[in-house]
């Protein structure tokens, strides 16, 4: 039985990963400081004999005997990571140092959940892992973008200097049940506004693009990455390469919710990327992975979840 640590385990992605690990028979330690995570997300796991929950902030050292570490701890939406940008950077950087130190001590394999934000507002489209990115180091998004870039630096330096067994995934836009209704991300924003009959907020002209991956597909990729061959460190892009405009996404949400909400347009936030699409050739080659769940099917599940959250 694998002893597995998941940091940020009560968050949106972390809780779905915990579900999968328990289903696969792991002995699981879920760690979260509940800044953006919620006990509601993992309440159904609390009576599982091999599930343990610990309130802990990864900016402080943690001592545990584990075989694998999934490091997901960090607020991931602009609303949350810009609330306390210094703490956001600390979570990425100090958190990486503390988790890498633990992995070094107990000789655990450690997976870092990095982000497509390391590419910034890209000049290369779609983005491959070889692209170094175009990031504003002093902008309002820098706490997250540069924090995650520094975490990647630390992972590869621990690998080179201390032979720590690392895996790095760069996660592109992901959606699904348990997203925070007020996280400011486009999928949750559109769905909540549509269900409440509020105007749907489009930033800019709505022609900026994103690619959306359903959470179950993402978790499958993370599991495959953790189990991938020795010596394959990544980074590897994980996301859905089907690209669409924000206007197209809004139209999909309106159709699936049956909402009569109207579209309104507001200025584009600072440093908001105009395009974002993963090149997943490496994931296909090394992990035999590509997303399986269509946007329509994924949105139906997500909308059903939000109906219970915002409409009771």
Q: What is the pLDDT of residues 295-312, one digit of tens each?
A: 999 999 999 999 999 876
E-strand stretches of the chain: 3-7, 27-32, 51-55, 68-71, 109-115, 166-171, 174-175, 200-203, 209-211, 213-214, 236-238, 243-245, 263-266
pLDDT digits over 61-87, tens only? Answer: 999 999 999 999 998 877 888 889 999
Please report where in the chains the tokens 């993992």 appear, as a residue: 42
Give the residue numbers annotated as catalytic, written as ranges.
144
Q: Would 247 be classed as within a structural domain?
A: no
Q: What is the chain's mean pLDDT, rounded?
A: 94
Q: Would 151 be classed as within a structural domain?
A: yes
| Rounded to 5°, angle at Cα 142 from 112 and 169 | 20
pLDDT score of 289: 98
| Rounded to 5°, angle at Cα 72 from 69 and 76 | 170
Q: Would 182 be classed as within a structural domain?
A: no
pLDDT score of 312: 65
Please report where in the chains the tokens 């810009």 appear, as a residue: 82
Q: How many CB atoms lie within 10 A of CB 303?
A: 21
The residue among 93, 82, 83, 32 whose CA lies nearest residue 57 is 32
Q: Would 200 be classed as within a structural domain?
A: no
Q: Do the beta carbons of residue 106 and residue 66 sit within 8 Å?
A: yes
Question: How many domains does one find in the chain?
Answer: 1
Low pLDDT (below 70) residues in the chain: 271, 312
**CA distance to 19, 35, 178, 254, 303, per residue, from 306 (Å):** 19, 20, 8, 14, 5
The residue among 126, 18, 143, 136 whose CA lies nearest residue 70 is 18
The set of residues, in sequence order, having a beta carbon less than 8 Å from that of 77 and lying 6+ positions away, is 36, 180, 183, 184, 185
pLDDT score of 77: 75
Q: Would 62 be classed as within a structural domain?
A: yes
Q: Would 194 be classed as within a structural domain?
A: no
Q: Would 111 be classed as within a structural domain?
A: yes
Q: Would 20 be classed as within a structural domain?
A: yes
Q: How many CB atoms lie within 10 A of CB 262?
A: 11
- We report the CATH number of the domain holding residue 117 as 3.40.50.720
Domain housing 45: 3-176+213-240+277-292
């Amino acid at each position: 039985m694998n002893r597995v640590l998941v940091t940020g385990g009560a968050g949106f992605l972390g809780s779905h990963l915990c579900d999968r690990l328990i289903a696969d028979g792991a002995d699981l330690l879920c760690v979260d400081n509940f800044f953006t995570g919620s006990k509601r997300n993992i309440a159904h796991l609390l009576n599982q004999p091999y599930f343990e929950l610990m309130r802990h902030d990864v900016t402080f050292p943690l001592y545990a005997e584990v075989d694998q570490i999934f490091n997901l701890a960090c607020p991931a939406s602009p609303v949350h990571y810009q609330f306390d940008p210094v703490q956001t950077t600390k979570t990425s950087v100090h958190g990486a140092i503390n988790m890498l130190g633990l992995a070094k001590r107990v000789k655990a394999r450690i997976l870092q959940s990095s982000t497509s934000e390391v590419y910034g507002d890209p000049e290369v489209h779609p983005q491959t892992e070889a692209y170094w990115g175009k990031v504003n180091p002093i902008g309002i998004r820098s706490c997250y973008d540069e924090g995650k870039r520094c975490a990647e630096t630390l992972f590869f330096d621990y690998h080179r200097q201390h032979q720590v067994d690392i895996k790095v995934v760069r996660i592109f836009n992901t959606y699904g049940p348990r997203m925070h209704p007020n996280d400011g991300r486009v999928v949750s924003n559109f769905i909540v506004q549509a269900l409440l009959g509020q105007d749907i907020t489009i930033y800019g002209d709505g022609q900026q693009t994103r690619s959306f991956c359903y959470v179950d597909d993402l978790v499958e990729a993370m599991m495959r990455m953790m189990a991938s061959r020795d010596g394959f460190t990544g980074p590897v892009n994980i996301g859905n390469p089907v690209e669409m405009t924000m206007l197209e996404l809004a139209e999909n949400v309106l159709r699936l919710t049956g909402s009569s909400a109207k579209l309104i347009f507001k200025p584009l936030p600072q440093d908001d990327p105009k395009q974002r699409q993963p090149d997943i050739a490496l994931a296909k080659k090394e992990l035999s992975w590509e997303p399986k769940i269509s946007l329509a099917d994924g949105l139906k599940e997500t909308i059903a979840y939000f109906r219970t959250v915002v409409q009771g």
